[in-house]
């Protein structure tokens, strides 16, 4: 990237993917640590594609053309997987199919001694993957995750496949 050149085309798309992924993970962390929503196992798993897409999109912003296209393509694939995870989770919340049998994460203090174990159990909240903790416009966080991941995957994929700006 040269000085004074705006971030358009592939680099602009990479920057939007980077920003979208950072804001999505940041929003999930705010819901968890500020608002007190305890994520289930699937919620935590749904963050992983964003953790992979963030450095890939960052690389695509600064990398030469060929490497940027590869990084955006990989980001598109992991975000598409994330959209699938979100769809699966939202479908389990709506009862379209069963959720994972081992889903039921918890949050609470970590007991240091056996005597503290019962007290820790009282403070632990178990979260079921098939119960939506919060909805906006009738769509759960898992559903919004599916929408956002699909949109970011589309943006990254189109930018990776675009011939605009490529050297011939």
pLDDT value of position 83:
94
- Max CA distance (Å), the chain: 70
Please give the class, per CATH, of domain 9-99+130-161: mainly alpha
Structure confidence at residue 37 (pLDDT): 79
- Per domain, the residue ranges of the chain are 9-99+130-161
Q: What is the pTM of this model?
A: 0.74
Q: Which residue has the tokens 């009282």?
A: 122
Q: What is the pLDDT of residue 108?
A: 46
The CA distances from residue 53 to 22, 100, 146, 160, in Å, are: 9, 25, 15, 13
Residue 168 has a pLDDT of 40
Task: Retrieve residue 135's tokens.
Answer: 């909805």
pLDDT along the chain (168 residues), means of 10: 56 93 91 81 88 95 90 96 90 77 56 60 59 68 87 93 62
For position 3, what pLDDT does the model report? 47
């Amino acid at each position: 990237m040269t000085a004074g050149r705006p971030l358009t085309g592939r680099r602009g798309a990479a920057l939007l993917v980077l920003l979208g992924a950072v804001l999505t993970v940041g929003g999930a962390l705010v819901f968890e640590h500020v608002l007190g929503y305890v994520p289930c196992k699937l919620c935590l798993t749904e963050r992983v594609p964003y953790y992979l897409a963030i450095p890939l999109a960052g690389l695509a912003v600064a990398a030469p053309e060929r490497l940027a296209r590869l990084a955006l393509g990989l980001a598109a694939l992991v975000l598409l997987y994330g959209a699938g995870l979100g769809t699966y989770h939202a479908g389990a919340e709506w009862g379209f199919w069963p959720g994972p049998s081992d889903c039921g994460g918890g949050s609470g203090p970590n007991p240091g001694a056996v005597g503290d174990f019962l007290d820790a159990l009282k403070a632990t909240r178990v979260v079921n993957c098939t119960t939506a903790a919060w909805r906006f416009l009738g769509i759960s966080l898992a559903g919004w995750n599916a929408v956002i991941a699909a949109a970011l995957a589309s943006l990254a994929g189109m930018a990776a496949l675009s011939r605009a700006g490529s050297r011939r």
